[in-house]
Chains A and B, each alone.
Chain A
Amino acid sequence: MRIATIGMICFLISLPRIVLSQSFTVDTLHAREIRIDPSQANGAELADLASSVEYIPLETTGKSYFGKIDRFEIVNNKFIIYDGETDAILIFDTKGRFINKINSIPNTKMSKGSRSLTSFSVDRVRKQIVILAVTADYKLKLAVFDVTGKYISTADVKPADPLARFNMFYALGNNNYTYANTLYNVPKNLIVPDEDKRFELLWGTSPALLYYRFLPFDFTHEVTGSDAQGASFYHSGDTSAFYIKSFRYSVYKVSPHSVKRDYHFVFPYSMTLPETFFTDKLLDGKRDAYLERHNKFITTIDAFYQAGDHLLFSIKSQEALSVVGSMFLYSLKSEMLYALENLAPAEMNNYLPLFAESEGIHVADNNAVYTSVSSAMLLKSKEQMTPDRIRKFPPELKKFFSKATVKENPVIIKVSIKSDI
């Protein structure tokens, strides 16, 4: 999804830049080991894991209509949603009321048809939405909006700025940014002479030409060329983020001036990518096909969040684990692993769809995990219900079902996790 933007950004980079070397903490040795077998995950009753479940329909009007939740952030009691289908950032309050929509940047002509607003991040300290936008004439701009969607400013991004040089960025609050460098389609002969390309994470402010490099690539375990996969940042705190790279089972926490490997996952041998996956030259350019054939290998940890003493994450492999699914909750205290998709609808959630029918974990924040379900799915489940269950719906759900159609926006599910599992 980000490939187009990545391509455009790479297209623009070329100028020299200034790099500071400064004292910096990089800790990759003291990670907590999470040793789990996803196929042996536990099931549970909803009441064992959750204290409450809330269904929040997102208001559907001509202006707020959107397709799919591609990114989801919560800041200042607001849902910030990016929908790639309409290329818009939509803002709802936590009751689902529509507040605003950003689908353009004032005085800027955007390149049409592409996901031009997909590169955005939320500065949780300044309570701002920061968008790295590609204009119609392939210039980069950094636009800033407040969290109600009100436009604040636009600035040009100089080609030497790390924002322009690296594939992904994430706001660490207070104008601090971290950047991830993936070697997707980067020719090998460029990697060695370009020192920046030898590090996978950077940190800096913007606009600035000053930035810091850290976490050098481990080229013995790095897949490059067309096999290279993306990296992702996930919300961790106001001034930090979790950083995860595909084909690697480690979770790093990045904050200004430091990166620490927080967790390292160990999976059963039959699910773990073998050493030869990285080193076998014969696999170059064919790793997709290899993974299709060896479909049990876990390729990535996705949607990783921490809510108190609980880790919430998805595990991706080509073959789905039929009973347990791919979404999990891990208790750091009890070291128990729970399969979220196996949670059966219960009285607590009025027997409505849960994780099994959901669009995956969107975000975890303040001991609550957020996911969503299509209105078509909700309507279908209601059709199959007995009248006495329908009668027990809370007023807001009754109101939703009284007028909802399949064309309604998705419905957010907020599951509050019990503190003591």
Chain B
Amino acid sequence: MISGNKWFAAILLICFAAMSSKAQQGEIRGMIIDSAFKLKLPSATVAVYTEDLTLVQFTLTNNFGAFSLKAIPLNKPLRLYASYTGYRIVAKPFRLDSAHLINDFKAINMYRDSITLKTVVVKSVVPVRMNGDTLEFNADAFSLDKNAVVEDLLRKLPSVTVWGDGTITVNGKKVSNVYVEGKPFFGGDARIALQNLEKASVSKIQVYNDVQPDKHADTLKSMNVVLKDDKKTGFFGKAGAGRSLNRNLNDVDLAFNRYSPQTQLGIAGNHNSINKRVNSLNQVFLNSTYKGSLTDDYSTDFSMLGDNKSTAAGLMISRDFLKKPELHRSNQLSGEYFFNKTLTDIRNTTRQTYNFRPDSIQQNEQSEFQQLSPESHQLIMSYLNKKDKRQLDVSLNASNVQNRQLREQESITSRNGEQAFRRTEKYQEDNVTNTVDLKAEYDTRNPAATKAYKGMKVDLFYSYWQEKEDGIKKSELILIDNPETGQLIDRKFNGITNKNRLGANLQGDISRLVLWGAFERMRVNVTLGNAFSYTTTGMDAKVQQYDTLRKAYFVNDYLTNSRQYYLLEETPSLEFNRSFIRASANRYSKALSLAVRLPLAMRFEKSRSEKSFQHYDLGYINLLPSLLINYNNSSVGKHQQRIGFEINFTLIYPGMQMIAPLVDSTYDIIQVGNTLLKAGQELSYKLSYTNSYRDFIFSMAASVINTSNALTTNSTFDEYNRRYLTYMNAVRNNNSGNLELKLRNSYRLSRDNQLQAELTSKNIKYQVTNYHGGNENIVDGFYSSNAVNLDYTFKTLLQLRGGQTFSFNHLKHSYLKTSYKISSLISYVNLQVNPVQHVFVRTDVKYTRQYTASASIPYSIWNASLGCRLLEKRNLELKFSAMDILKQNQSVRNIADDLYVNLSSTNMLQQYFMMSVAYYPRKSGKGK
């Protein structure tokens, strides 16, 4: 760390030295006017070029046509171009030298021209212009490396800052959306567009203010990348493969994206055995950009257990039926298919120390082999049609997940130091889950409507969920002191659960429709809502047990069951909302809004089963009021504060497994139902505060939750130390609290030096009551995690990130009289340097240290890679990576729960060296 700090300081010194050694430069000023009409031209473009048309400097004139440009090189023939929409371009040659450091052009006359300018001329000499309220940068005016992407162009634009974390700001205001041709590009993440699209295919970059849904919020900006007419279609992608030099490990990436004015198509896939988790198509797209992006969620995860092999692939397509993008209109169909398969082998040895009762200590020595092979298919389709004040949103989400789980376990259990019993277990299960979710939303709400009927939002939904299980379980338990009296379980099971849910939600403003508009006169908005859903669940389970005497499988009548469960939920609700606004034009704006929500939650459950104890009917009717207060205070050109306060009353309904479960007595944990269970009640108070001032943001969120009648369990143990969990309502009320703080500031030290700093703190104090043998046990816990992160970038040459996280967890059981403390310290440094063009070096070190009651070993994971880009288009990448160079990845873990402490050792991925090659094809436009 110390050497890191020194290095960091040295880099800063070099940067400042570079900045201070500027050569002598001159200045030009003047005013752009329309002399015929005596008009001063505001936001006219003034650009200075060299004779070979290289852009030197540019600016826009102020409200009254005046401009001034500093840092103009001396002793060079230069040319000033003044331009304004609807006027002929004016060129003025000039030259500055040490005797004439300032040139005042005074008034530069422009002449109106109704003939459209030849685009070639405009492109080359107008780097920026104001088009109405839109600021437009002309890409052709900026000369960059021929392989440059849009992000490189943004870094060249004055007033635009691309931050280390990918955020873009324009004059300090955050760009909230980046569009290409007015539409989101491949899922909307800006980096996919900015790091892939060639600068040469861009016609202009537009920056404009977003339409504000909340007029009290700070203004946000949107950016639109306009492509050249002949470059509106194109493709980009990546084909990469890596092979470990010292182990049998592979990594293959594939991504291909094709775009045209109305259609976007993307295909991506990955196969790896280096613990890279691939959760979505977008993740592959994001990490396959030409510019190269390596986010933490797409690199080796050294914390994953076992040996992992993963294969993922998918396809996305979206079609826009509108030929030209329009602000308030949309007519788009999109679909995505994603496949993911992983194979995990885990070999694990564990020592588990139980504290059942203060006088009883039990220890398990266990070795386990586990194989998991989940495979999932997911299909998402959506259709959006937006027109004026109507919006129709239809979506379909279907998935199929198959998982085969294989587990072999062997354990020896000792009680108070003496061996008590030995157990072997073999478990195999095939599990298939199919889901279908269909949703349609139609929204015609328009709060500004002057009519009494202000529109309505209607949601209709249907979902289907099916789970099939098929498996075998073999388990043998032998008591050491009496080997004859063991327990042998050998059974086959299969089950199927089908769940159908159908519902509708409505919401609309009725302020003027009730009580002759009295509420509207009192400026109270009244919203009427209704949520309805009906769910049926059918569960069929068949269990066969091996009879050792008859040497055959017979149906287990207790566990074989058929159960139906019906749930009807109907919640009409009323919301009253009143806002008080105090705004003083050009000074401040303060808005207070108070809302009271009154939902009447009605819930009816019916359970029917072959087992009579599972027959029950339940009904709940409760008013669940909530209060919301929001306060916004913004001072023009200064801070913006937001305070939110909420009180919510909610119910936690007991599930059917808590009321009447069917329990397999061969498990270690046996659930016992309770038909007298009441719903748990939660009263929560939430307070949030945000204060932002330019690049500085402070936010705080605090909540207190009071729980009464909480759903909890009473634990008892039988002679085999099987744990019985009987569901019950806690007698005592519990309070839990949560406090989160975040402080963030961005410093633009100079045009090339940027620093972002962030401090976060998350603290949770929680209290849960459970029972042990009928005795009340209060679990008091405290969790705290505090982090500091720094991100420094110097041009595109260097990016340095570093940070530290300290977290702490403390648990105390009042009855068990046990307490656990675990804390951990994680420090990391990431550095990327591009020492020469097209060569990059990346290295990162992560140091982890855990503090527990028992011994723990600190470890560091150090990774480094070196790569270069070859070929004319710089689209062939060779890379050598050395991962976990110190070979310290920990396979030993220490975990504590309310009753036990685990010390386990598992096979994990460790040190490997990999050579990889990647090709980034990309092309825009037709032809060459």
Contacts and interface: CB of A to CB of B under 8 A. Distances in A.
Interface of B: 33-34, 37-43, 63-66, 130, 132, 388, 450-451, 523, 582-587, 636-637
A330 to B, nearest CB: 15
Given A67-B584, A344-B64, A374-B586, A42 B132 contact: no
A347 interface: no
B636 A319 contact: no
Interface of A: 40-45, 48, 66-68, 85, 113, 185, 226, 286, 289, 319-320, 322-324, 339, 342, 344-345, 356-357, 359, 374, 376-377, 406-407, 410
Contact of A113 (B66, B523, B587): B523
17 contacts: A41-B37, A42-B37, A43-B37, A43-B40, A45-B38, A67-B584, A85-B582, A185-B450, A289-B388, A320-B132, A323-B41, A344-B65, A344-B66, A345-B64, A357-B63, A406-B586, A406-B637
Residue from A40, A322, A359 having most chain B Cβ neighbours under 10 A? A322
A41 B38 CA distance: 9
B632 to A, nearest CB: 16
A410 B585 CA distance: 9
Contacts of A45: 38
A85 B38 contact: no
B585 A342 contact: no
B144 to A, nearest CB: 30
Contact of A376 (B450, B582, B636): B636
B37 A374 contact: no
Given A113-B523, A322-B43, A85 B583 contact: yes
B20 to A, nearest CB: 26
- A-B pairs, top 8 by smallest CB distance, nearest first, are A43-B39, A374-B586, A344-B64, A67-B584, A68-B585, A43-B38, A42-B37, A226-B450
Contacts of A286: 388
B39 A407 contact: no
Contacts of B43: 322
B585 A374 contact: yes
Contact of A67 (B33, B34, B40, B587): B587
A323 B63 CA distance: 9
B42 A322 contact: yes
A376 B37 contact: no
Contacts of B41: 323
A119 B130 CA distance: 41
Interface of chain B, helix or strand or loop or mixed?
Answer: loop
A266 to B, nearest CB: 20
A58 to B, nearest CB: 13
B38 A323 contact: no
Contacts of A226: 450-451
Given A40-B37, A406-B587, 10 more contacts: A41-B37, A67-B585, A286-B388, A322-B132, A324-B39, A342-B40, A356-B63, A376-B637, A406-B636, A407-B587
B587 A376 contact: yes
B34 A85 contact: no
B694 to A, nearest CB: 16
Contacts of A85: 582-585
Residue from A66, A289, A376 having most chain B Cβ neighbours under 10 A? A376
Contacts of B64: 342, 344-345, 356
B533 to A, nearest CB: 35
Residue from A40, A42, A43, A407 having most chain B Cβ neighbours under 10 A? A43
B38 A42 contact: yes
A57 B130 CA distance: 34
Given A113-B523, A322-B132, A44 B583 contact: no
Residue from B38, B583, B584, B637 having most chain A Cβ neighbours under 10 A? B584
A295 to B, nearest CB: 9
Contact of B39 (A66, A323, A356, A376): A323
Nearest to B35: A43
Contacts of A43: 33-34, 37-40
B63 A377 contact: no
A319 B132 contact: yes
A134 B735 CA distance: 51
A380 to B, nearest CB: 8
A294 to B, nearest CB: 14
A48 B38 CA distance: 11
B584 A322 contact: no
Contacts of A357: 63
A377 B585 CA distance: 11
A72 to B, nearest CB: 14
Contacts of B388: 286, 289
Given A345-B64, A406-B636, A376 B586 contact: yes
Nearest to B87: A323
Nearest to B133: A320
Residue from B38, B41, B636 having most chain A Cβ neighbours under 10 A? B38
Nearest to B389: A289
B653 to A, nearest CB: 41
A324 B112 CA distance: 14
Contacts of A319: 132
B39 A377 contact: no
Residue from B37, B38, B132, B523 having most chain A Cβ neighbours under 10 A? B37
A356 B64 CA distance: 9
Nearest to A68: B585
A368 to B, nearest CB: 23
Contact of A374 (B38, B450, B583, B587): B587
A114 to B, nearest CB: 8
Given A85-B582, A344-B65, A406-B636, A42 B587 contact: no
A42 B36 CA distance: 8
A344 B39 CA distance: 9
Contacts of A356: 63-64
Contacts of A410: 586
Nearest to B130: A322
Given A67-B583, A68-B585, A85-B582, A42 B636 contact: no
Nearest to A324: B39
Residue from B40, B41, B66, B582 having most chain A Cβ neighbours under 10 A? B40
Contact of B38 (A44, A68, A359, A376): A44
Contacts of A113: 523
Contacts of B586: 68, 374, 376-377, 406, 410
A323 B587 CA distance: 27
A374 B586 CA distance: 6
Contacts of A376: 586-587, 636-637
A220 B322 CA distance: 36
Contacts of B584: 66-68, 85
Contacts of A48: 38
Contacts of B130: 322
Residue from A67, A185, A339 having most chain B Cβ neighbours under 10 A? A67
A1 B130 CA distance: 33
Nearest to A346: B64
Contacts of B583: 67, 85
A358 to B, nearest CB: 11
Nearest to A292: B328
Contacts of A324: 39
Contacts of A374: 585-587
Contacts of B34: 43, 323
Contacts of B636: 376, 406
Contacts of A320: 132
Nearest to B327: A292
A407 B40 CA distance: 32
Contacts of B132: 319-320, 322
Contacts of B587: 67, 374, 376, 406-407
A342 B39 contact: yes
A245 B43 CA distance: 34
Contacts of B585: 67-68, 85, 359, 374
A67 B590 CA distance: 12
Contacts of A67: 583-585, 587
A338 to B, nearest CB: 9
A68 B582 CA distance: 11
A357 B585 CA distance: 13
